[in-house]
Amino acid sequence: MNNFQINRALAEMRALAAQAGSQTKAAERTAESDFGDAMKQALGTVNALQQDSGDKQAAFVRGENIALTDVMIASQKSKVAFEAVKQVRNHLLEAYRTVSNMQV
């Protein structure tokens, strides 16, 4: 191989490395935004369930035509959803603490 072929091969390798690096960064950004979007969606769902539960409880107290079972089911759904989000938060905090305590 002469110098020209070596330089050409190195240039191709650098171009491929740069392309692979940009694809990896794009994939990381996508994964981060996917997780963030999933968390936002989960929090939105929990919020909607809690509002629905509160509305049904208020309607029942006002004497509107709503079954007590519907009120209790809505209350339990919001409770379970909130507990699930709370557990995800706890696991994230624990993972953060573990990583921050690692020695480099």
Rounded Cα gap, residues 13 and 17, in angstroms: 6
**pLDDT at residue 35, as a whole number:** 80
**pLDDT at residue 16, as a whole number:** 74
**pLDDT at residue 38, as a whole number:** 86
pLDDT band at 8; cut points 50, 70, 90:
confident
Closest-CA residue to 79 (of 52, 59, 49, 55): 49
Q: How does pLDDT run across 11-70, given as a tens digit for each residue?
A: 777 777 777 766 656 556 665 678 888 888 989 999 999 999 999 999 999 999 999 999
Q: How many domains does the chain have?
A: 1
Q: State the residue range of the domain holding 22.
A: 3-101
Query: Structure pTM?
Result: 0.62
**pLDDT at residue 30, as a whole number:** 63
pLDDT higher at 1 or 73: 73
CA neighbours closer than 13 Å in the CB half-sphere of residue 95: 6
